[in-house]
Amino acid sequence: MVSVERLVLQPPKKLGGKYMPQNTTPADGSFVLRFLAEFDSEDPLDQGRELIISYFLEDDTVAVFEKPKHNSGIRAGQFVSRGRHLVQGRPIEPSDLKLGSKITITGFNFVVKDADEYAKNMLAEMGL
């Protein structure tokens, strides 16, 4: 069927969501694991900056957002755009985002400090 739909053949798309729970209900949430992180840097400008690492279960992508901080002079919002980022040559997995772990995303070093309740429950179900 691929040759009928397009003139130039393309490989079939891979299905993401290998970490999606099997039995889901609308009360389960948005299927996004959110982790609170800080920079792993000695730079005084990076001290105290808090970021939220979001892991999207539906397509196994990651995005990083910076939390607003009053009178810091640093703009809050999207820090690293959503995409499939690599850690040590392989895609980031939820097991890489355990509490206290250090992770590098697009050249920035982060330390995972905390997670929301949904993320903690999912990691507990995975045995992490």
Residue 115 · residue 36 · CB < 8 Å = yes
Report pLDDT for 110: 94
Report pLDDT for 60: 86
Provide the token pair at 13: 């798309």
Residue type, 4: V
Give me the CATH code for the 14-126 domain, please. 2.30.29.170
Angle at 19 between CA 116 and CA 93, to 5 degrees: 75
Q: Centre a 10 Å sphere on the Cβ of residue 29 and count the other Cβ atoms it contains.
A: 17
Domain boundaries, the chain: 14-126
Residues of the chain with pLDDT under 50: none
Provide the token pair at 10: 């393309």
Report pLDDT for 82: 93
| pTM of the complete model | 0.78
Q: Is the dihedral of CA 126, 114, 104, 29 positive or negative?
A: positive
